[in-house]
């Protein structure tokens, strides 16, 4: 059974989010929840929300196909962070100038599947 979830335009840079995503890639779902719960980084909260949605999507897919479903058998098979469109802002600089600031955003992609069906 497979399920996937995408969260778009998370207001955090992809570089910082990838540090957390690398911790859960290939892990069991319950183990990934534990890692994200005790991680201090802000990205862990957004990734945990997306992981929860992917598990719920897998459960709905199993119910629709009338198959058995067990959360303990799920594994994070695909976990990616992609760059979203940056928010372009300006701040004051010396001598009446303005300097650009790029506030980066991220897209979170997570896919879970049972151990046998990769």
pLDDT at residue number 47: 96
Q: How far is CA 44 from CA 33, 62, 113, in A?
A: 10, 27, 21
pLDDT in the model for residue 98: 97
Cβ(47)–Cβ(110) under 8 Å? yes
Question: In terms of residue numbers, what domain contains 72?
Answer: 2-114
Largest CA distance in the chain: 68
b/e 26-40 (16+ beta carbons within 10 angstroms → b): eebbeebbebbeebe
pLDDT tens for 32-73 read 999 999 999 999 999 999 999 999 999 999 999 998 888 999
Ramachandran angles phi, psi of 94, nearest 5°: -65, 150
pLDDT (0 to 100) of residue 115: 82
Helix axes 29-37, 43-64, angle to 10 degrees: 160
pLDDT of residue 117: 62
Indicate which CATH number applies to the domain containing 26.
3.90.470.10
What number is the average pLDDT over the span 11-39? 96
Residue pLDDT, tens place only, 70-100: 899 999 999 999 999 999 999 999 999 999 9
Closest CA to 14 of 108, 106, 109: 106
Quote the number of domains for the chain. Answer: 1
Per-residue pLDDT at 1? 81
Please determine, for residue 116, whether its predicted confidence score (pLDDT) is greater than 80. no
């Amino acid at each position: 059974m497979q399920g996937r979830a995408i969260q778009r335009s998370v207001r955090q840079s992809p570089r910082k989010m990838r540090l957390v995503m690398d911790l859960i890639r290939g892990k069991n779902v319950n183990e990934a929840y534990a890692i994200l719960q005790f991680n201090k980084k802000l990205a862990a909260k957004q990734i945990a929300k997306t992981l929860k949605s992917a598990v719920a999507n897998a459960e709905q897919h199993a119910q629709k196909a009338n198959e058995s479903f067990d959360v303990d058998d799920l594994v994070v098979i695909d976990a990616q962070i992609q760059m979203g469109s940056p928010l372009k802002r300006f701040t004051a600089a010396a001598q009446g100038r303005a300097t650009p600031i790029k506030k980066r955003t991220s897209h979170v992609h997570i896919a879970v599947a049972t151990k046998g069906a990769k």
